[in-house]
């Protein structure tokens, strides 16, 4: 299976490393508007075909899928070009700038019968997968309350300075991951309330958000995220969980400790592996990049829809839009309105 990658920036290096680790996959073309960055990645990963114009790359073809690792403003154009070219698509999150664009992108891929997956990798982190497996097994019964938390003071702006520039920040960039974890654990939501704050004066968007979701099955979950929390030791990039079920409880604590309490208590170390090309503390996310890209390949080969397909991600993106509406209006927003 031959692939192309558009975008050779900070995070895309993880995607390129992961593609190199997947059997039966070869990246044959790279595209980036920054020629220096493009050539550096091409040399590092042995990719000879290099383009600064995505349209030209698609015209010349010769690949089965494209990995779109660019910022959100370019996603709709690139997804629609890819669909027209008849290739499978994996697209970085956030999927789209608005719901209309997201729906158009899903329609474009469905029209040509190609797989479209969103690179929504947090639910694929091995500690989160371990917790999901416990919940799905029924060990703690039916969940009725949960908290999904990501609180850190880590400087994410040094590697991705554009994050400080947008009017939206933490819900759109990080909260989208945490909301997706909540969906994976508790199912789809019917309504959401939210508050936001900006603590860091050097950024334009919000860096603290707290959201309360009511789920279709009656469960309530709190999703909170912060890049203004000073912690020692620093927990970046760990997502922490608390789940109450009808038969017991589950906690995923700092240090990757998974505790399940029913009639007794079990504790498990669910630390992610350190891949040869990974670096702490990013190794948790880096491992999930490999896992989600392997899932994408497996789904193409088997003809099934990915868990984080474009169609599924419409529901996560709707939660992001509804959260901003709820915070701005000071009210609870129904997902049906979004």
- Mind giving me the DSSP string for 261-319? ESSSEEEEE-PPP--TT--TTTHHHHHHHHHHHHHHHHHHHHT---TTBHHHHHHHHHH
Q: Are residues 175 and 272 in the same domain?
A: yes
Q: Are residues 178 and 267 in the same domain?
A: yes
Q: Are residues 169 and 61 in the same domain?
A: no
Domain end, chosen from 58, 93, 114, is at: 114
Averaged pLDDT score across all residues of the chain:
97
pLDDT value of residue 331: 97
Domain end, chosen from 114, 147, 171, is at: 114
Q: Are residues 79 and 179 in the same domain?
A: no
The answer to whether residue 303 sits within a structural domain is no
Q: pLDDT per residue over 69-109, tens digit each? A: 999 999 999 999 999 999 999 999 999 999 999 999 999 99
pLDDT value of residue 290: 98
Q: Are residues 106 and 11 in the same domain?
A: yes
CATH code of the domain in which 233 resides = 3.30.360.10
> Residue range 326-332: average pLDDT?
97
Domain that residue 80 falls in: 2-114
Confidence of residue 325 (pLDDT cuts 50, 70, 90): very high
The answer to whether residue 289 sits within a structural domain is no
- 139 DSSP 8-state letter: T
Nearest in space to 42 (alpha carbons), one of 72, 77, 16: 16
Q: Are residues 132 and 109 in the same domain?
A: no
CB 281 within 8 A of CB 269: no
The answer to whether residue 296 sits within a structural domain is no
Q: Are residues 63 and 84 in the same domain?
A: yes
Alpha carbon distance 6, 241 (integer Å) = 34
Q: pLDDT per residue over 310-319, tens digit each? A: 999 999 999 9
> Residue range 150-167: average pLDDT?
94
Q: Are residues 264 and 153 in the same domain?
A: yes
> Residue range 247-276: average pLDDT?
97
Alpha carbon distance 192, 328 (integer Å) = 13
Alpha carbon distance 240, 223 (integer Å) = 10
pLDDT value of residue 283: 97
> Residue range 108-131: average pLDDT?
98
The answer to whether residue 300 sits within a structural domain is no
Tokens of 316: 């996560």
pLDDT value of residue 67: 98
Domain end, chosen from 75, 93, 114, is at: 114
The answer to whether residue 285 sits within a structural domain is no
Alpha carbon distance 85, 108 (integer Å) = 11
Q: pLDDT per residue over 23-57, tens digit each? A: 999 999 999 999 999 999 999 999 999 999 999 99
Residue percentage of the chain with pLDDT more than 70: 100
Q: Are residues 166 and 144 in the same domain?
A: yes
The answer to whether residue 301 sits within a structural domain is no
> How many separate domains does the chain show?
2
pLDDT value of residue 30: 98
Q: Are residues 66 and 139 in the same domain?
A: no
Q: Are residues 28 and 158 in the same domain?
A: no
Q: Are residues 194 and 329 in the same domain?
A: yes
The answer to whether residue 48 sits within a structural domain is yes
Say what the pTM is. 0.95
The answer to whether residue 283 sits within a structural domain is no
Q: pLDDT per residue over 292-303, tens digit each? A: 999 999 999 999
pLDDT value of residue 267: 97
CATH code of the domain in which 98 resides = 3.40.50.720
Confidence of residue 203 (pLDDT cuts 50, 70, 90): very high
Tokens of 142: 């039916």
φ/ψ (deg, to 5) at 147: -135, 130
> Residue range 306-334: average pLDDT?
97
């Amino acid at each position: 299976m031959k692939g192309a990658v558009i975008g050779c920036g900070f995070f895309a290096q993880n995607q390129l490393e992961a593609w190199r680790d997947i059997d039966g996959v070869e990246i044959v073309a790279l595209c980036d508007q920054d020629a220096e960055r493009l050539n550096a990645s091409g040399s590092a990963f042995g990719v000879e075909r290099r383009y600064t114009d995505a349209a030209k790359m698609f015209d010349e073809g010769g690949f089965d899928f494209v990995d779109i690792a660019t910022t959100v403003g370019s996603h709709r154009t690139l997804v629609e070009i890819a669909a027209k070219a008849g290739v499978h698509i994996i697209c970085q999150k956030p999927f789209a700038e608005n719901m209309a664009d997201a729906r158009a992108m899903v329609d474009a891929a469905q029209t040509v019968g190609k797989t479209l997956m969103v690179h929504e990798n947090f639910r694929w982190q091995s500690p989160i997968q371990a917790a999901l497996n416990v919940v799905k097994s029924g060990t703690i019964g039916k969940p009725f309350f949960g908290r999904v938390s990501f609180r850190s003071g880590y400087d994410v702006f040094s590697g991705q300075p554009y994050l400080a520039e947008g009017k939206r920040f933490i819900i759109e960039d990080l909260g989208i991951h945490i909301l997706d974890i909540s969906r994976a654990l508790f199912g789809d939501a019917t309504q959401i309330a939210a508050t936001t704050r900006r603590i860091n004066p050097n950024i334009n968007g919000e860096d603290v958000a707290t959201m309360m979701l009511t789920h279709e099955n009656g469960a309530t979950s709190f999703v909170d995220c912060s890049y203004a929390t000073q912690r020692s030791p620093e927990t970046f990039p760990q997502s922490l969980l608390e789940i109450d079920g009808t038969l017991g409880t589950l906690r995923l604590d700092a240090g990757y400790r998974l505790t399940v309490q029913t009639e007794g208590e079990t504790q498990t170390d669910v630390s992610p592996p350190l891949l040869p090309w990974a670096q702490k503390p990013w190794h948790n996310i880096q491992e999930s990049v490999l896992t989600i890209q392997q899932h994408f390949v497996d789904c193409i080969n088997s003809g099934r829809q990915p868990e984080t397909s474009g169609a599924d991600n419409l529901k996560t993106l709707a939660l992001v839009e509804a959260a901003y509406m709820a915070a701005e209006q000071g009210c609870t927003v129904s997902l049906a309105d979004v």
